[in-house]
Amino acid sequence: MKGNLDYKVGTKAADEVGELSRAFDRMTANLKKSRDELEAYSKGLEERVEHRTKELADKVKESEELRHASLNLLEDVNEAKNELEMAKKELQKTNRKLKVSNRELQDFVYVASHDLQEPIRKVSAFGQLLRDSLQGKLNEDEQENFAFMIDGASRMQQMIRDLLMYSRVSTKVKPAERVDLNEVIEDLRNIELAIQLEETAGTIHVPEPLLAVQADPSQMHQLLQNLVGNGLKYQRNGRRPEIVVRSSQEDDNTVRVEVEDNGIGIAEGNYDKIFVMFRRLHSLEEYEGTGIGLAVCKKIVDRHGGNIGVNSTMGGGSTFWFTLPAGG
């Protein structure tokens, strides 16, 4: 019985040991699994930390670069600002210089044309006296040479007169006032252009009363005298000049005036050139002139803040136009 019992006890103990050992094995296996998991987890964590650290480092580097770039940009902007400031100063300096040299040039033109008047008058007057007193004593060639000389002198006189007129547009300035252009045209008909109108049998037609402008009155006489005078002059032989003067109100408180003729016309390529001083499209044999008239017109209109120009068809007449402040 005891032996059996012993056997039984022995088997039970062995069972328990087996059980224990299996439990131990399971535990060991579990532990190993946990350790592996922990290891894997910590490795993953390490990798993630490393990755984040690298990401952060990249971000820091990026923002550092950005900061650098914006600093450079700021520097560039400042540099550009300085350059602009310098260019502005330079421009102001050049402007002042230009004003001074313009003034000097104006003074020079005035003094030169004014002082040249007297000697050229003498050349012309004494030349004519001499021609009269030598009448009949010169041969044909000598007479012709003499005529050339006197003609040259009187042309020079005319040029000097016109130059002086050009110079006086800015030196002899009267304050602007309301100018009735109808009266100006009436004066041109009866006084300034009376002879030319008679010689050419020309007419000045004003279909509708002209609007008033705000300007220097004597310069309005000069302006219209030059434009209408050209219309009478640049005409085909034998054709009667017909000039039409019109005005219209523009939106921006200015008046536009048009002087239309039925003359020879102007090629489009020459529209700008003719307003340049001494610029002529015709020889003296064809039409007399100094080439200063339209330069005077432009100077007058510029001075009043207006614009001037021309539209034309070759052979079909020209329309000169200008704008000036409205006279109210």
Interface residue with Mg ion among 230, 247, 254, 312 (CB under 5 A) is 230
| By CB under 6 A, residue 178 contacts ligand ADP | no
| By CB under 6 A, residue 274 contacts ligand ADP | yes
Q: Which does 112 bind (CB under 5 to 8 A by kind): ligand ADP, Mg ion, none?
A: none
The amino acid at residue 40 is: A
CB of 96 to Mg ion, least distance (A): 35
CB of 231 to ligand ADP, least distance (A): 5
CA distance 150 to 122: 11
CB of 294 to Mg ion, least distance (A): 6
Q: What token pair was written down for 16?
A: 């328990």
CA distance 78 to 81: 5
In 3D space, the residue among 291, 174, 96 whose CA is nearest the CA of residue 104 turns out to be 96
| By CB under 5 A, residue 241 contacts Mg ion | no
CB of 297 to Mg ion, least distance (A): 9
The amino acid at residue 249 is: Q
> In DSSP terms, which residues pair with 177 in a beta bridge?
215
Report whether 179 contacts 215 (CB < 8 A): yes
Phi, psi (degrees; rounded to nearest 5) at 214: -105, 105
* Residue placing its CB nearer to ligand ADP in the complex, 127 or 293: 293
Report whether 113 contacts 167 (CB < 8 A): yes
CB of 138 to ligand ADP, least distance (A): 32
CB of 155 to Mg ion, least distance (A): 14
Report whether 306 contacts 322 (CB < 8 A): yes
- Stretches 14-22, 101-109, 120-128, 256-264: which one binds ligand ADP (CB under 6 A)? 256-264
CB of 149 to Mg ion, least distance (A): 25
Count of residues of this chain found to bind ligand ADP when the rule CB under 6 A is applied? 21
Give the x/- contact pattern for ligand ADP in 197-236, rule: CB under 6 A.
-----------------------------x---xx--x--
Interface residue with ligand ADP among 202, 241, 263, 306 (CB under 6 A) is 263
* Residue placing its CB nearer to ligand ADP in the complex, 226 or 254: 226
Give the x/- contact pattern for ligand ADP in 279-308, rule: CB under 6 A.
xxxx------xxxxxxx-------------
Q: Which does 318 bind (CB under 5 to 8 A by kind): ligand ADP, Mg ion, none?
A: ligand ADP
Kindly write down the DSSP assignment for every residue of 125-152, as one continuous string.
Answer: HHHHHHHHHTTTTS-HHHHHHHHHHHHH
CA distance 233 to 236: 9
| By CB under 6 A, residue 156 contacts ligand ADP | no
CB of 263 to Mg ion, least distance (A): 12
Report whether 257 contacts 245 (CB < 8 A): yes
| By CB under 5 A, residue 293 contacts Mg ion | yes
- Cα-only R_g, the chain: 50
Q: Which does 164 bind (CB under 5 to 8 A by kind): ligand ADP, Mg ion, none?
A: none
Name the closest residue to Mg ion (Cβ): 293
The answer to whether the Cα torsion of 270, 274, 279, 285 is positive or negative is positive
In 3D space, the residue among 246, 247, 223 whose CA is nearest the CA of residue 300 turns out to be 223
CA distance 245 to 188: 12
- What is the contact surface with Mg ion in residues (CB under 5 A)? 230, 293
The contact set with ligand ADP (CB under 6 A) reads 226, 230-231, 234, 261, 263-264, 266, 274, 279-282, 289-295, 318
